[in-house]
Amino acid sequence: MASSEAPFQLKDLLTPATIRLHVAASDPGQVIREAGQLLLASGAIEERYIEAMQQALQTYGPYMVIVPGVALLHARPGDGVKRPCMSLLTLEPPVRFGNEDNDPVSIAIAFGAVDRQKHLQALTMLTRLLADEQALAAIRASTSAEEVMHTIAASPSTQ
């Protein structure tokens, strides 16, 4: 791609600083707060984005639990996203969000976009990763953020 603004890839958005493992959360609200705090600490979002993710869950229900055991937490770009970003939590024990098909959640990914375009390649890679059961099992079993990053980089789904 000749453009100076190449599309974001998964490794551009998910970093060791935005990954926390073995998080104990009591409910979906706490999961959103924990995942959002990682994005806030990285400077990628404003505090109000965390509230917007909470509101989206309250308003629309547990549709964010997109595949068995995985929630993709997000809100609208205008709700306080400064730059495309992503955080990942593994949850122990898993948390019930109220999605009868895909609960309980053991991996939560918070995602922030600034528009409808720049993040699409990263989101496509994430979607392929979520279909890779071996990669998800490895992420759940990871003991360090670096291990998660290696799993993502090594997965054929993210190539």
| Residue ranges of domains in the chain, CATH in brackets | 10-158 (3.40.930.10)
114 near 82, Cβ under 8 Å? yes
- Quote the mean pLDDT of the chain: 89
Which residue is catalytic, options 22, 74, 119, 150? 74
Check pLDDT > 80 for residue 84.
yes
> What is the distance, to the nearest Å, from the Cα of residue 51 to the centroid of all Cα atoms in its chain?
16
- Mean pLDDT throughout 114-125? 72
pLDDT at 12: 79
d(CA 16, CA 28): 23
What is the enclosing helix (H) or strand (E) of 4? none
pLDDT at 61: 87
pLDDT at 17: 95
Q: Using 50, 70 and 90 to split pLDDT, how confident is the model at 7? A: low
Identify whether 119 is a catalytic site residue: no
Check pLDDT > 60 for residue 110.
yes
Check pLDDT > 60 for residue 6.
no
Angle in degrees, CA 129, 70, 123, rounded to 5: 40
- Cβ-in-10-Å burial (0-12, 13-18, 19+) of 73 comes to buried
36 CB neighbour count, 10 Å cutoff:
24
- Mean pLDDT throughout 67-77? 93
157 vs 40, more confident: 40
pLDDT at 2: 36
